[in-house]
Chain A
Amino acid sequence: MSLWFALSPLLILSAGGLLLMLADAFSEKHTDLALGAFMTFASAGIFAVALWIMGGVPAEVAKLVAPWIVLDKFTLFFMATLCLGGALSSLLAGGYLPEHGLDRGEFYALMILSAIGGVLLVAAGDFLALFIGLETMSIGVYAMTSFRRTNPRSAEGGMKYYLLGSFAAAIMLYGFALMYGATGTTALAGIRDALASGSFGYARDPSRLTTVIIAMAMILVGLAFKISAVPFHMWTPDAYQGAPTPATAFMSVVVKAAAVATAMRVLLVAFGDKFSSSWGAGWPPVVAGLAVATMVVANLIAIRQENVKRMLAYSSIAHAGYLLIGLVAAWGHGDPSASRNGKAAILFYLLQYTVTQAGAFGALILCGSKGKEAVSYEDLAGLGRRNPAVALPFTLFLLSLAGIPPMSGFFGKLFIFQSAIEGGFTWLAVIGLLNSVLAAFYYLRVLVFLYMKEPQPGAVEAVPMKSGYVTAAMVLASALVLYFGLMPGRSLDMAISAAQSLM
C-alpha cells in the first residue's frame, strides 16, 4: 500500500476544499457547491472505510508519517465519522443557505478546510500536528459562525467564540511548551515514555514535577474548552445560537467528535502512565468532576430555555458530559477490559450522536423558512398536524437524543453507563442515568409542542421550507439512527476494534 492511498481521506478533503474554493471564485453566479462538498466528504469517508476493510494501514506505511500522524484504526474510525458529519452538514447548508439569502460559496470551502483540521486533529500523534489541526479546524469554524454578515447575533456569537477559543488555545499551547520543557519531546508516545520511565525520575525532582502538573492542567483546560465541558462551556450556547444552523450542526458534530478524539489520545496515550492517571494525583478525578458538573449544569439550564436552538446547544453540552463519563471509564483503573469497553462506548456514542444531532438540526432547519425561522417552542406548535413529514424525523432524532429505545441514542448511553459500572464507577453511571431522565423532559417538551399544542391565535407561524438537500439529509440520518438503534452489533464491533488500536 502506498502512502498516497494511506493518506487518501486527508488528500481528498484537501483537494476538494481547494477545488471548491476556486470553483466559488471562478464560477459565474450560483453554482451548486453543496453537491460538490457532499461528494468530497462522501468520497473521503468511503476511502477511510476502504482502508478499514483492507485491514487498516500496514505498520511499515504508517511508520513513514509517525509520530506526527498516527494512521491506526482509531483514526480511520474517526475519519469516517467526521466525513459522515461533514456530509450531512453540507447537505443541510445546501438547503439552508439559499433559503435564507446566504448563498455564498465560501461556506462549503470553509467547512471542508475546517474538517481537514478535524481529521488532522484525530490523527495527531504529536503536539505540533495536534495544534495545527486544532487551529485549522477552529479558524474555519470561527468564520462559519459569523457567516451571517448582516446579523448582529451571528457576529456576536462568532466574536465570543473566537475570543474565548483563542484564549483557551493559548493556554493549551503554554501547557504544550511546559510539557516539552519537562520531557524534551512533543510526541504523545514519547511523553508517555518519558513520564513513565524510572530514569526520568521526575517524581524525585519537585520543580520538574510541578512543571508537568501545571502543563497537564493547562492542556486539560484547553481540551475541556473544545469539548465544551462545564465550566468552560460559556461560548457554546452563544456560538451555537448565533451561527447559521448548518454551521451549528457542523460544530456540534464534527468539532465535538474531533475534540473528544484528541482528548482520548492525549489523556489515554500521553498521560497514560501510572502516575498521571492515578486516581489520587492524576487527571481521572478531574475528568469525573467535569463530567458531573457538565451533565448537571447543562441539563438544568437546558430545561429553562425557550429557544429550541439554544436548548439543543445545552443538550450538546450535556452529551459532552456523558462522553466524559466514558473517558473516565476508558481509564477504568487500568483494567484492560473495562478500558477497552469504555473507549469503544465513546466511539459508538460519537458515531450515533453525529447522525442524531445533525439530523435534529436539519429537522429544525426544515421547520422554518426565510423570515419565518423556527426559533422558539411556540413556533413548533401544531406542526405535527400541519406537516407530519417534517415532524416525524424530528421526533425520531429527539427520541434518540433522549435515549429512548429503539433509537440509537439508547444504545449509546447504555454502553457508556455499562462500561462505567464495569470500570467501578457505578456512582457516575447513576448520576448519568438521573441526568438522562432530566434531559428527557425537555426533549419531550418539543414533542408536546409538535403534536399536542396549537399555535396561539394571531402568532407568526413558522412555515416549513422545501429543499431536496435537507430532505436527503433527513432520510439518510433517519435511516442511520434506526440502523444504529436496531442493529448496533456491527458498528459496536468496529468501535471495539478501533478502541483496541488506540495506544
Chain B
Amino acid sequence: MIPIPAFLVVAGILFGIGAIGFLVRRNVIVALMSIELMLNAVNLTFVAFNRVHAEAHTGQVFAFFNIAVAAAEAAVGLAIVLSFFRLRRTVRSDAGDLLKN
C-alpha cells in the first residue's frame, strides 16, 4: 500500500511545476499546458484525499467535474489564443502590449 502522503507530495510538485511554468514561460500555449498541469495536480490531490475520507466519494466526484470543466476551459482558451494569433501572428504573451495605462 503506497502511503497517501506520497500522492500528495507528487501532486504538490506537479502543482508547483505548473505554477512556475505559468509564471516563467511567455508562450501562451505552454501557459495553457501549465494550467492543465495544475488542474491535474488538484485532481490527484482530491482522489488521494478521498482515500482518507473513504466514507463518501466526494473527492472522486469533484475530480470528474474538474476534468469536464478543464476541458471546456481549455477549449475556450484555445479559441481565444487562436484569435489572438490571427491578429498578431504570435503566441507570445508579451506581445499583448496594446492595453496599458
- Chain A residues in contact with chain B, CB under 8 A? 127-128, 131-132, 135, 139, 142-143, 146, 149-153, 155-160, 162-163, 166-167, 169-171, 173-174, 176-178, 180-181, 184-186, 237-238, 241-242, 301, 304-305, 310
- Chain B residues in contact with chain A, CB under 8 A? 8, 15, 18-19, 22, 28, 31-32, 35, 38-39, 41-42, 45-46, 48-49, 52-53, 58-59, 61-62, 65-66, 69, 72-73, 76-77, 79-81, 83-84, 86-88, 93, 96, 98-101
Choose from A135, A157, A180 the contact partner of B59 (Cβ within 8 Å). Answer: A180
Known A156-B99, A167-B19, A305-B101; further 13 A-B contacts with Cβ < 8 A: A139-B72, A139-B73, A146-B83, A159-B96, A160-B96, A163-B35, A166-B77, A169-B73, A177-B45, A180-B46, A181-B52, A186-B58, A186-B62
In the complex, residue of chain A having the shortest beta-carbon distance to the beta carbon of B74: A166
Q: Collect the chain B residues with CB atoms within 8 Å of residue A149's CB.
A: 83, 86
Q: Is A242 within 8 A of B42, CB to CB?
A: no
Q: Is B84 within 8 A of A159, CB to CB?
A: yes
Q: List 14 A-B contacts (CB under 8 A).
A: A135-B73, A139-B73, A142-B77, A143-B76, A143-B80, A155-B84, A156-B99, A158-B84, A160-B93, A180-B46, A181-B8, A184-B52, A185-B58, A186-B58
- Min distance, Cβ B11 to any Cβ of chain A, angstroms: 8
Give the distance in Å from the alpha carbon of A199 to the alpha carbon of B87 in the complex: 59
Q: Is A162 within 8 A of B99, CB to CB?
A: no
Q: Is A173 within 8 A of B66, CB to CB?
A: yes
Those 9 A-B pairs whose CB atoms lie nearest each other, nearest first: A181-B49, A170-B38, A177-B45, A184-B53, A156-B96, A155-B84, A238-B99, A152-B87, A135-B69
Q: Collect the chain B residues with CB atoms within 8 Å of residue A185's CB.
A: 53, 58
Give the distance in Å from the alpha carbon of A155 to the alpha carbon of B78 in the complex: 12
Give the distance in Å from the alpha carbon of A150 to the alpha carbon of B84 in the complex: 9
Q: Collect the chain B residues with CB atoms within 8 Å of residue A157's CB.
A: 99
Q: Decide if the interface of chain A is mainly helix, strand, loop or mixed.
A: helix
Give the distance in Å from the alpha carbon of A173 to the alpha carbon of B58 in the complex: 14
Q: Collect the chain B residues with CB atoms within 8 Å of residue A171's CB.
A: 19, 38
Q: Is A132 within 8 A of B69, CB to CB?
A: yes
Choose from A132, A158, A173 the contact partner of B80 (Cβ within 8 Å). Answer: A158
Choose from B61, B72, B80 the contact partner of A159 (Cβ within 8 Å). Answer: B80
Q: Collect the chain A residues with CB atoms within 8 Å of residue B69's CB.
A: 131-132, 135
Q: Is A177 within 8 A of B49, CB to CB?
A: yes
In the complex, residue of chain A having the shortest beta-carbon distance to the beta carbon of B54: A184
In the complex, residue of chain B having the shortest beta-carbon distance to the beta carbon of A160: B96
Q: Collect the chain B residues with CB atoms within 8 Å of residue A304's CB.
A: 101
- Min distance, Cβ A248 to any Cβ of chain B, angstroms: 13
Q: Is B15 within 8 A of A174, CB to CB?
A: yes
Choose from B22, B41, B88 the contact partner of A152 (Cβ within 8 Å). Answer: B88
Give the distance in Å from the alpha carbon of A257 to the alpha carbon of B74 in the complex: 25
Q: Is B39 within 8 A of A170, CB to CB?
A: yes
A237-B99 contact, Cβ under 8 Å, with A159-B84, A184-B52: yes
Choose from A131, A132, A153 the contact partner of B98 (Cβ within 8 Å). Answer: A153
Q: Collect the chain B residues with CB atoms within 8 Å of residue A173's CB.
A: 39, 42, 66
Give the distance in Å from the alpha carbon of A142 to the alpha carbon of B79 in the complex: 10
Q: Collect the chain B residues with CB atoms within 8 Å of residue A132's CB.
A: 65, 69
Q: Collect the chain A residues with CB atoms within 8 Å of residue B35's CB.
A: 163, 166-167, 170
In the complex, residue of chain A having the shortest beta-carbon distance to the beta carbon of B50: A180
In the complex, residue of chain B having the shortest beta-carbon distance to the beta carbon of A207: B5
Give the distance in Å from the alpha carbon of A96 to the alpha carbon of B80 in the complex: 22
In the complex, residue of chain B having the shortest beta-carbon distance to the beta carbon of A147: B83
Q: Collect the chain A residues with CB atoms within 8 Å of residue B38's CB.
A: 167, 170-171, 174
Q: Collect the chain A residues with CB atoms within 8 Å of residue B48's CB.
A: 181
- Min distance, Cβ A233 to any Cβ of chain B, angstroms: 12
Give the distance in Å from the alpha carbon of A245 to the alpha carbon of B49 in the complex: 44
Give the distance in Å from the alpha carbon of A181 to the alpha carbon of B54 in the complex: 11
- Min distance, Cβ A324 to any Cβ of chain B, angstroms: 23
Q: Collect the chain B residues with CB atoms within 8 Å of residue A159's CB.
A: 28, 80-81, 84, 93, 96
Q: Collect the chain B residues with CB atoms within 8 Å of residue A127's CB.
A: 62
- Min distance, Cβ B53 to any Cβ of chain A, angstroms: 4
- Min distance, Cβ B92 to any Cβ of chain A, angstroms: 11
Q: Is B46 within 8 A of A128, CB to CB?
A: no
- Min distance, Cβ A47 to any Cβ of chain B, angstroms: 27
Q: Collect the chain B residues with CB atoms within 8 Å of residue A152's CB.
A: 84, 87-88, 98
